[in-house]
Structures are given as C-alpha cells and as structure tokens.
Structure 1
Amino acid sequence: MKKVILYITAVCSALCMNSCSDYLDKNPLNSPSDQTFLATETEMQMALASCYSALWTNWETMTFFLALDAASDIGYDRNTNAMQTIAQGAADANSDLARDYWKSFYAGIAKCNYLLENMSRGEENVAPATYAQIKAEAQFLRALYYSYLIELYGDVPLVTEVLTLETGQQPRNPKSEVVDFILKEYTEAAENLPSANNPTSGHATKGAALALKARTALYNERWQDAISASQAVMAMEGTEYIIEDDYSKLFKYEGQTSKEVIFSVQYLLGTQVHALYRLFGSRNALAHTNKKPAYQLADAWECTDGKQIDKSPLFDPKHPYKNRDPRLEFTLAVSGSEFLGFQFETHGDSLLCWNYMTNQRVDNLEATHAYATFTGICWRKYANIEDKDALNDCDMNTILIRYPEVLLTYAEAKIKAGEIDASVLDAINKVRRRPSVNMPPITTTDPNELFYAVARERKYEFAGEGLRLFDIRRWKIAEVVMNQPLLGRMKKSYPDKAPRMDEWGTAFYEGIPIAESGESADFKMRIVDIRKFDKNRDYLWPIPYIERQTNPSLTQNPNYE
C-alpha cells in the first residue's frame, strides 16, 4: 500500500511539473474529491457514519459516559490516572482526561459541521425524506456532543461551521447560549427523525432527540422545555417505549432490543469493543475489578417497606442486603450473591467459595488477592458471563438514555415548576413499580419531600450508568458528598448499626469505626480513597492547557492554573 501511494505521488508530481494547468483542475476518478464530496446519498451516509464516531470516546475502553461515575461519589477508579485525580479534587489543566473528552467531542462536532455545511451539493440527488433525516441525525449528534461539553466545562466555543485558519480561534460562548442552541437543534432534528424505536440500529430517532432535549433542559432549569419534551416521549409509551418488566435484563445481551432503551452506543466484535467484563468483574472470574462502586452506594437503596435503612425495622445490620430494594442486587454484586458463576464473598475468613459452573469449592480470590475489590462490592451492570472467554472484547451496547429517565425528568421538572399533580406520582411510581422491583408507591405531594424522593430514585435507578456526576453538580451537593472518604467494607464484619442517611440518600458513618492509616480494617471501615472538592473550582473541569496554548481566546475556568 505504501509503495502504491508513493507511486501515485510521483506521477502527480511529474504531471504538475510537465503538464498544462488543465490537468490540475481534474477531480480524481477513483476517490471522492473535496470539491464534490457529498454529491451522492452514499457519500452522505459515509460522512454521517463518521459523525457517530465520537460516541466511542472512551476511558480505558469504558464508554465515556459510564466512566463518569468514577468521578462521582458512587464510584472509584483504582488505577492511578486522571480519573482518580479528578475525583480527588487534584486535577489541573494538564489532565489528559479533560483534554481527551474536549478533543473528541469537538472532533465529532467538526464532522457534523462539515456534513451540514456541504451536503447541499447533493441535495438534488437524494430523496427529500432521506436528505432531511441525514441532516437531522447530524444535528442530533452535534447537540449531543455539545450537551456533554457544557456540563463538563461550562462555557464553551459554539462552533457551527467549518473552521479555517482565519476563524479557528473561537472564544467561549456563555453556557446559556449553547443550551439555547442545543434545545433548538434537538427540536429541529426531532421533526425529521423516524418515530420507530429500534434500539440496535444505532441511529438517532425522534424519541431520542426529545428525551435528550428533556435531559439538557432539566440540567439547566428550563422546566417547561423539560416537561413538554418529556410529554412528547411519554405519548409514545406502549408503542415505542416501555418499562421493561425485568430490570436486570437491560444490562445483559438479551436486553439490547428492549424498548425501554431509547438510545445506546453500538458495539460489534471486530469493529468496536470494550472491556467492561475485565474492568467490572470479580477476581474469581479472572477479571481485574479496576472500576468499583463505593461501599456507601450499597447503603443507599431503601428497604422493601420504602424506608431508608436507618429508619426501617426491616434492616438487619448483620445481613445488610436482605429486605432491600431489588435494584441493589441488580446493580451491585454483594457478599453472598452469585456473580459470574461464582459465590461472591469478600469476608476475610472465606478462603473457599463455590464455583457454580463446576459445583466445586475453589480458592476464594475475593478474600486473598491483593487487587480484589477494595470496597467489598462490584458493579454487576454490564458484567456478563458470556464475555468470560474474551474479557477485553465485549460488544454489548451501552445505554446512553432509557425511558425511566424521561419519566423522572418529567416528575422533577413538574415539581420544580410548581405543577405537582397525579401525573407526577404516576411517573415516579411507574419506575418504582415495575414487576421485578415492585417498591411501595410514593404518595406524598409535599414539594420538598417529593423532590428528594425523585432525587433518591435517580440514584437507585441509574447507579452505574453515568448520570450521577451531573446530578450531584446540578443539585449542588458535590461539595458535601465529594468531601467524604470513599469507603470499603470491614474485612471481617459489618457495622453493628445503619449509617445515618440524609434526604438525598447519602450515607454518613458517624459512630461507626473507620480504620486510620496503617490500622487493620478487619473490624473497621476501610478508607479506599480520600476525596476533596473545592466548591469554588470543582463544579467544572479545567479547559485543557493545550487548547489554551493553541487558542489564546479561550479563558480558563475559575481557580485552575
């Protein structure tokens, strides 16, 4: 291939030196020309496929949004890397995580801009409906990439055309201005996207555009926009969108086609894969457990009577996972459960455990391996036994948004808008009452109690799915929850009482022994990570250093150097 390229280059050079200028005006016959590209439907579809590529932005193969939970109070990245640094409140403008997300999303935006700016070249060669859909998908993706940029960095340059050397240095636009643009793009895209929900197509749909419009509106306190966009999706319930009966199915291969899924990032062996089995799975199952949930998260879910664990008579400190919201064990692998074919047991004296695939007792690496989960629990979502023989080559799709989020967005926006009615309770309880969960219904209409109920419900429902970071930021509770140490379980016991639970569903361990540095954690909670959060800085990521060097028009976020 390299010889062919060199040969063609040599021929072209000879023509340039020895031929008439007419030759220089010829478009290539065997490949697209930048003068005519996008003149056909095939070329437009090729360009559109490239616009989707930023969806595969990843952190150590984790889809970009899943990785964000490790920067929040519910997750931990064991590896010494930029994600760990951000969670510790120690990031600066040289963070490769902040750099890579910025770079990737703007690369995706640039591809969308190129398609949208130049596709008119072939408009007469494409059926009007197809042309409109291609344009709408590019608008959808551009809005999606901007939605993550503004939530991570705040004010960002709003670039809507192909940049040149002369226009390349764009200043930051106010976040509110970019929000206006995003909502407008989603609205326009929804008008020309198909209504049919096909979760494995990988293409944007009307429902996806409206659902993500509702998300952006909620995050930015545009309550009426969030309500109306949610209502438009809710109008498609029963035909295009459902609440899946079996919650756990959603995060297994069999759940990829569920109509609860509104939009997911597509993976396929041989093209795009991830390593979620290795990152989330247990040591017994030959995975590495690099990414872990915080122990505090396991205490978040209510008991089956609908009360938090410090208020419920059903909570037994000696058996802390009994009588709990089923989503606890659908989300987390906890001691005593079966996980990836093995008995998952993290008690320090449990030197043997069951291998359920062979019906034999085997050495229990969860108790003896130096790098077994430090917190005593693992993520269960997306860790599937089908991937055990190819733990780095998993190709299960990852869900970017699903229908329960729309319902809880609607409920929260209605509460904040002062429009509490029966539809708010109905939306919340559809999520809580799915057959595999079946938690007691929420009945209060007190605005404060109802808001906190929705906030907790988002934690119960979406833990491990990449939404938590933005929730704790927009609710302004990051300065509380991220100024706590991230804990692991007592190695040979459990606390003899429930932690104190606040209205947000956050656990606090006053009066429960926590091991100091160098102390045994056999009968004390283990400190896994020390987190710090500066409320005057850490609600935003830094603008990457390299971007400000190449574009002096960019200002830095407060209190970053």
Structure 2
Amino acid sequence: MKIHIIKHIGKFYLCSLVLLAAVGCSDFLDESDPSNLTPDSFYTTAKHAESAVAAVYADARFVGDGAGIFSSNWQLLEAVTGTSTTQTAQNSDLNNLYSLSYDANTLHIRNWWRGVYRVVANANLVLDNVPDIEMDETEKAKVLGEARFFRAWAYFYAVRLWGDVPLITMSQSATSEDFSPVRTPQKEVYDLIVADLLEAESAGLAWTDDSGRVSQSAVKSLLAKVYLTMAGNPLNETARYADAASKAKEVIDNAGPIDLFDTYGEVHDENLGNTVEHIFSLQYNDEVAGNPMGNMFPNFQPVTYRGPSGTGSTVPEIEFYNSYEDGDLRAVDREGWFYSSYYLNGSGELFDLGAPYIFKHFNVTANGTLGVPGTAKDNLNMPIIRFAEVLLIYAEAQNEAGGPNQAAVDALTRIRDRAQLTTPALGAFDTASFRDAVLQERWHELAYEQITWFDMVRLKKVYNSETGGFDDFVGHVNLSSDQALQEKHLLFPLPEQEMINNPNLTPQNPGY
C-alpha cells in the first residue's frame, strides 16, 4: 500500500498542482485539454479531490528538501539545539545556524517559510473546492479531514518558528483582498490549529493507516502536542496541560495496533513504516524521493554501498552523547540511536568510525549490513509523530496538571524499559523531580527528530548535558558552538525577501 500511495503522490507532485495553477496527469485527470485547467474546471470529480490532497502530502516533504551544499531544510531545527555539530564547513547558512548567527537571509529560514505556506495554499484549495464536488460523502469528509490536518500541521510550525504570522484560510489570487496579509496574533493562529484538528478528528479517518495517510490517531496525537505547546511559552495557558494529558491518554488507551517497537532497530526499518510506533511520518520512496537524512552520515567514511562518502554535516555533540545514562541501550553501538563502528562499504568487515554518529535514521536495508549489500534504494520514511512521544506528552502534561500519578509513571517506564533502564516507583517522585525525569527522557528519546528545539522554546529551558540539569534558555551556552542563546532566539527572523515582497509583514521579530 505504501508504495502505491507514494507513487501516486509523487506523480502528482511532478505534474504539479501548486497554488493557483493545475495541470493534469493521466493517472488522475480525465479532461481532454489539461493544459487549460483552472481551479474552477479542475475540482469536478472524486479523482480530482484525491489528486488535490495528494499534492498536499507531496508538498509536506519540503522538510527534507535541500538547502544548499551539504545541507537540508530539517537542519534548521537541529543545528540550533546544541545536541549536534558538523564535520564540514562548506555551507555558510548551516554554519550560521550552528553558531547562532543566522539572520533574515539564511536559506533554511526562507525555505521553511515557502514550504509551510505552500502546504497551507494547497490545503486551502482543497478546503475551498472539494465541498462542491459530487462524490461519496464519507470519502469527501476524509479528504477534507486530511487537508485540515495538514493546514494545522503547517501553521503549527509557522507559529512556533516566527510567532505572529499571516493567517490565510482561503485560496489566494492576485486580486484577493488579503493578497498582502498582515501578521495575525499567535493566539488566533493557535485557535485555527485547534479548530482544524477538532474538525479532522471527526472526519471519519481510520484509527491507523499503514499506507501513510493521516489517521485519527495522528490527529489526536498532534492535538495533544499542540495543547502541550499552548501550555508553555509564549501563551502560557496552563489549563491546556490537562487537555494535552486527556488527548494523549485517548491514544494510549485506544492504541490497538499502536505500541512501542521491541527494538530500536525496528524504528528505522523501512519495512515497518506506518506501523506500530509510527503514528505519522513523511512518506519517502526512492522512485519519487529517497529518505532525506543523508547529512547524518559521517564525513567521507565507507559505511554504505557508495564507499567513502557522506558529509558529516549533522553529527552528535560529544557531551550530549555522553549524557546518556550508563547502560542506556540508546547509546550502545548499533543497538540504539548511535553507531561508532560499521561494516566496510555497508556489508564488509566491521571497522571503527572513531566517534559516535547518528544511527536513528540509518537505513540498513538500503545501505547494507554484515554480508548483505544494500539495495541502494532508501525508502525509509521520516518520522513526525512516534508513540514514544505520545507517552512522554502524557507523562509531562499529567504531572503539570495534577502531579505524577501511576499512569504517568507507567508511561515513562515504558520508554525507559526499552532502554533497559530502571525507573523509580511513584512514591519516589514529586512534581519537580518527575518533571526533570520526563524532560530528560524527551531529550534522549526524541533527539534528532526536529522536536528538541521546540521543547527549548516552549519550556524556556535547555538540558545541560554536562550537569544533567536544566538551564534557563537565555544564557544557556550551546556546547557545539560555545555560543549563548539570547532572548531573540526564541523566534526566528522572517525572511528578508518575504518582507520586501510584502511590506505588511513588518515589524521584523525583535533582535534581527
């Protein structure tokens, strides 16, 4: 199923339904003259509805797109955390992210803005036009639910990256009244995110979907994550902790086929995509687009079928790696999230890499393992929401809403059991100590999944890998660069070119 869905999403992406223009592909459209399609003439059949939402899925993969030499868009959310460093210095934009000296012209920031708003634009086209199509009402509701999920998902990134952002809820043209929109207060953006997800929650989506489409469990999990974020900086709506705990508990209690994998290797097994722990992922298939995490390969080391290669532009910061507890399986070579040795050219003799590297997104099937050459086709998906995160959302939110209870400790214990770590009993915790325990697990369990930065911002706290405690955000020194975080870093700057194109976006975020 997964390959079928991805092939069609990819085909539609290549023939493109982007913003206001649509051109046809025979797999999707029946019109005799597709070169003259317009939104009015396109949205007339159930196939058009499916094709339109397929374009939204395809656009969501902007997260893995390139950002100049040896860099990808996702590195925007990793380089600034201090949990990684680089072995190459050939991308000035990436270097500026690592050194916290980025500005409004940094390519990654510009790419994220354009990527987010392309998802919004195509989701708006679906929401504006699909309701009028004559098609099965159950299927229509699902398509609209998927579009609402993605619009919420995109705005959730936007509001956390830039704060007040333009809130566009209708498809646009050059004659639209709000073609040059102003920035909307964050609270209103969050209100739309919640409203979209509540609508999607009741859209009749399947509980899970091994084809990679949005599921009801994905909607509920994202909503729990949104509530948790709203409870922290900058909204500080602390009542939302209870909402986050309640929504996460719905997923935990009704998990069905959802669970933690038994081993960490299964987390990055391409044959297990969209199953068990993977609640929602960006879909990759080498026929359309291969997995985009290659910048985590060590620099010019023969760990794959390609021989000596790799850029090493995202590698672990050594003190962060050393902060994992003794015996933590996640830090064991080739057992957890890291590897310090691998097989020559992917399948030969074991050799020492000289340092730990990130194994979490390493595709053994594509790259090879002992005695088994790689397929050279990296079909591994990019995880966005894992069940592990839902367990940690519940544990944190329940603790903040009412102190630790047995269910919260059980959720934390499930994470630590897999790591082969012992968890104290409920009576050993108070609210403060349980908070620290859960947050430390978030740093260690969810590392290198583009989550840590947003934890830093909402908590205004940063894990100190040398002390094991938590520093205030402002003044914390990233060990990867020996640079201190400032107040301005709680938000990214708006892209300079976007502000030139639309003067209504002013003022720029403070400090830039």
**Same fold, judged at TM 0.5 (above):** yes
Contact 1:88-1:532 at 8 Å conserved across structures: yes
Which residue of 287, 307, 310 maps to 2:309? 287
In the alignment, what sits opposite 1:252? 269
Contact 2:285-2:291 at 8 Å conserved across structures: no
SS in structure 2 at match of 1:553: helix
Question: 1: CA distance between counterparts of 2:74 and 2:226?
Answer: 15
In the alignment, what sits opposite 1:87? 98
Shift of 1:67: 5.6
| 1:47-446 to 2 correspondences below 5 Å | 47-57=52-62, 58-60=64-66, 64-65=73-74, 68-77=77-86, 78-79=88-89, 80-122=91-133, 125-165=134-174, 166-199=177-210, 201-221=211-231, 222-237=240-255, 239-277=256-294, 279-281=296-298, 283-285=301-303, 286-288=308-310, 289-303=312-326, 324-329=327-332, 330-335=335-340, 338-339=341-342, 341-342=343-344, 357-359=347-349, 366=353, 376-388=355-367, 394-434=378-418, 437-443=419-425, 444-446=428-430
Contact 1:331-1:464 at 8 Å conserved across structures: no
SS in structure 1 at match of 2:85: strand
Letter in 2 for 1:276: M
SS in structure 1 at match of 2:385: strand
Contact 2:49-2:143 at 8 Å conserved across structures: yes
131 and 441 in structure 1: CA distance in 2 versus 1, 3 angstrom threshold: same
Letter in 2 for 1:476: K
Compute the TM-score of the two structures, normalised by the length of structure 2.
0.80
In the alignment, what sits opposite 1:532? 483
Compute the TM-score of the two structures, normalised by the length of structure 1.
0.73
Instruction: Provide structure 1 residue ranges, at least 5 long, that are not aligned to the other structure.
Output: 1-26, 304-323, 343-354, 368-375, 482-498, 507-526
CA deviation profile, 1:62-84 (whole Å, cap 9, x unmatched): 87546622221111243433233
CA deviation profile, 1:162-219 (whole Å, cap 9, x unmatched): 12333211111111221121111111101114233234x1210100011011111111
> Which range is displaced more, 406-415 or 284-293?
284-293
SS in structure 1 at match of 2:503: coil
Question: 2: CA distance between counterparts of 1:420 and 1:358?
Answer: 49
SS in structure 1 at match of 2:361: coil
Question: 1: CA distance between counterparts of 2:45 and 2:54?
Answer: 14
In the alignment, what sits opposite 2:235? none
Letter in 1 for 2:225: R
Which residue of 462, 471, 474 maps to 2:458? 474
2:444 pairs with 1:460: yes
Shift of 1:252: 2.2
Contact 1:281-1:383 at 8 Å conserved across structures: no
Q: RMSD of the alignment, in Å?
A: 2.8
Rg: which structure is higher?
1
Instruction: Provide structure 2 residue ranges, at least 5 long, that are not aligned to the other structure.
Output: 1-29, 232-239, 368-372, 473-477
Question: 2: CA distance between counterparts of 1:196 and 1:94?
Answer: 42
Higher relative contact order (CA 8 A, sep 6+): 1
In the alignment, what sits opposite 2:49? 44
Letter in 1 for 2:467: M
Percent same amino acid at aligned positions? 24
Contact 1:456-1:505 at 8 Å conserved across structures: no
Question: 2: CA distance between counterparts of 1:500 and 1:531?
Answer: 13
Question: 2: CA distance between counterparts of 1:500 and 1:450?
Answer: 20
333 and 28 in structure 1: CA distance in 2 versus 1, 3 angstrom threshold: closer
Contact 2:330-2:338 at 8 Å conserved across structures: no
Contact 1:59-1:67 at 8 Å conserved across structures: no
64 and 240 in structure 1: CA distance in 2 versus 1, 3 angstrom threshold: farther
CA deviation profile, 1:265-293 (whole Å, cap 9, x unmatched): 11111211135346424613223223211
Letter in 1 for 2:242: Q
448 and 270 in structure 1: CA distance in 2 versus 1, 3 angstrom threshold: same
Specify which structure has the higher proportion of helix: 2
Question: 1: CA distance between counterparts of 2:413 and 2:152?
Answer: 30
100 and 141 in structure 1: CA distance in 2 versus 1, 3 angstrom threshold: same
